[in-house]
């Protein structure tokens, strides 16, 4: 929720200077100062150093455009900076229509139009905010829609529904919807246009903790491994051990997972292994849609495509037979990933898995999550958006995190994250001692989140405890076969059903 008192403190302690900086540049004359200041602000909430350089380059390109056409800036800005939220929806669409048609003359298809717009988001959105200050906001959350989501959660801003990945035209117009939403928020809280920008890019990112709000430093053990593809421009990324970059991801990527980077050019080989250090998220303005941050690169002896074709394990993989075309997000079975480590003698975490009979349906924790827990939650009345996997809970001084497998009905307000129930998943729990160890971990999540219910699930059973006795006594347990019985499911539904 927006706190007027905190906001006024911010203004009095230097925030007014930030507001004036936005006003001077966007309502009067765009300068190099603006490019530098906005890039500096971005460094606080975007861990990727390249993002700041992109901002500077695109704003300088815009400055050059204005100089080339000798345009006097700010002539359409309203001096009182008032926002007419009733007129915004009627007016921004024709402007977006015009831009879409203009880009279409050069780009052709909706996919290429969106590619051009998303790649030049800083340039286009800044230009629109200069020309139409009461309709559009400059957008500087490229590759960081997650930060905008955290800000929206904290200040109770209801963001519009994100279009589907292949709805490129919808994703183009989504920028107008975001602008409308943010300007409505400003109107409701009596913020001027330029106060809104200071709020979005300075006040709010500091309030939620900047990069610490989503980058996990204390990584949990990996559960999966995925290929990603890179090109010649990325060949020196892994030389910097502290490098953290955003990348296209498989939707199943979790914090701590292993990311195997395949260099398509110039070497056509695996040359480094990374870790996922953020929860994967959807970014509608990122061309590839699904985004994750990766870190802790380990350089390895190159394992080439030619070697893969000759290797007894890798030559059977469909992605190798396709010459690694479409490699981004391809999952590696634990045995294949571990074999890769052995081949390269790589010093990287291995994946733990149980060797089971071929007919065993649950070979890893993810199988338990996808084949048992998610269908059960659906049956219990929970929609996909009513639970969250890997909810990042900041603990202490921005350097610890708790990441439960499932949180039902999460409330993610900063400083008091809570939920109705947590479920911790394990592939197999075959003894009372191992169950007790898992509950120690699950109980820590439940206490921090102040949940009513704390549950553990494996391929064998689901066990449930309650907060009445600090989650000590198991109040319900059943095998998955037993849950097919109406009475057993009824008991479970009474405890944890929505």
Residue 457: CA count within 13 A, CB half-sphere? 27
pLDDT at res. 498: 84
Domains present along the chain, CATH in parentheses: 4-213 (no CATH), 225-344 (3.10.590.10), 365-496 (3.90.1570)
CA-nearest of 426, 7, 435 to 206 is 7
Let me know how long the chain is: 498
- Any alpha helices (H) in 247-333, and if so which ranges? 305-310, 318-321
CB 405 within 8 A of CB 423: yes
Task: Note the pLDDT tens digit of each residue in 361-408.
Answer: 777 788 899 899 999 999 999 998 899 888 877 665 555 566 889 999
In whole angstroms, what is the distance from residue 214 CA to residue 331 CA? Answer: 23
CA distance 458 to 472: 18
Alpha-carbon distance of 294 to 216, in angstroms, equals 10
pLDDT tens-place string over residues 312-326 = 999 999 999 999 998
pLDDT of 365: 81
What confidence score (pLDDT) does residue 92 get? 83
How far is it, in rounded angstroms, from Cα 298 to Cα 21?
A: 42
Q: Which residues does the chain have with pLDDT short of 50?
A: 71-80, 356-359
pLDDT value of position 74: 43
**Residues 142, 143, 144, CA angle at the centre, nearest 5°?**
85
């Amino acid at each position: 929720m927006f706190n007027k008192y905190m906001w006024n403190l911010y203004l009095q302690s230097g925030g007014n200077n930030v507001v004036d900086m936005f006003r001077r540049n966007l309502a009067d004359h765009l300068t190099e100062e603006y490019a530098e200041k906005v890039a500096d602000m971005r460094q606080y909430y975007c861990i990727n150093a390249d993002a700041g350089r992109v901002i500077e380059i695109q704003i300088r390109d815009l400055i050059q455009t204005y100089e080339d056409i000798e345009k006097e800036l700010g002539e359409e800005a309203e001096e009182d900076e008032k926002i007419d939220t009733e007129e915004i929806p009627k007016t921004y669409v024709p402007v977006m229509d015009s831009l879409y048609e203009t880009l279409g003359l050069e780009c052709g298809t909706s996919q290429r139009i969106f590619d051009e717009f998303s790649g030049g988001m800083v340039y286009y959105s800044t230009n629109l905010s200069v020309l139409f200050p009461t309709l559009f906001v400059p957008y500087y959350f490229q590759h960081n829609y997650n930060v905008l989501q955290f800000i929206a959660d904290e200040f109770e801003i209801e963001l519009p529904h994100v279009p589907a990945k292949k709805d490129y035209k919808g994703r183009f117009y989504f920028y107008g919807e975001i602008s409308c939403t943010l300007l409505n928020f400003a109107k409701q809280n009596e913020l001027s246009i330029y106060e809104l920008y200071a709020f979005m890019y300075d006040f709010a990112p500091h309030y939620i903790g900047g990069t610490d709000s989503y980058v996990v430093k204390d990584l949990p053990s990996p559960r999966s491994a995925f290929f990603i593809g890179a090109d010649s421009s990325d060949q020196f990324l892994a030389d910097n051990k502290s490098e953290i970059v955003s990348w296209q991801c498989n939707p199943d990527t979790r914090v701590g997972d292993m990311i195997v980077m395949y260099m398509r050019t110039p070497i056509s080989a695996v040359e480094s292994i990374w870790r996922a250090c953020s929860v994967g998220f959807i970014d509608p303005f990122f061309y590839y849609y699904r985004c994750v941050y990766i870190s802790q690169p380990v350089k390895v002896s190159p394992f080439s495509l030619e070697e893969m074709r000759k290797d007894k394990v890798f030559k059977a993989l469909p992605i190798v037979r396709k010459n690694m075309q479409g490699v981004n997000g391809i999952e590696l079975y634990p045995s294949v990933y571990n074999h890769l480590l052995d081949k390269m003698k790589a010093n990287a975490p291995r994946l733990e898995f149980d060797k089971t009979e071929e007919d065993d349906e649950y070979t890893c924790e993810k199988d338990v999550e996808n084949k048992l827990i998610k269908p059960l939650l659906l049956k219990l009345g929970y929609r996909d958006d009513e639970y969250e996997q890997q909810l990042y809970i900041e603990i202490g001084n921005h350097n610890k995190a708790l990441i439960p497998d499932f949180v039902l009905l999460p409330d993610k307000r900063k400083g008091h994250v809570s939920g109705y129930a947590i479920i911790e998943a394990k592939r197999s729990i075959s003894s009372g001692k191992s169950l007790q160890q898992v509950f120690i971990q699950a109980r820590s999540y439940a206490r921090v989140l102040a949940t009513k219910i704390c549950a553990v699930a494996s391929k064998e059973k689901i066990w449930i405890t309650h907060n009445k006795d600090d989650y000590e006594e198991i109040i319900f347990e059943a095998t998955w076969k037993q849950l097919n019985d109406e009475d057993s499911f009824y008991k479970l539904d009474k405890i944890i059903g929505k």
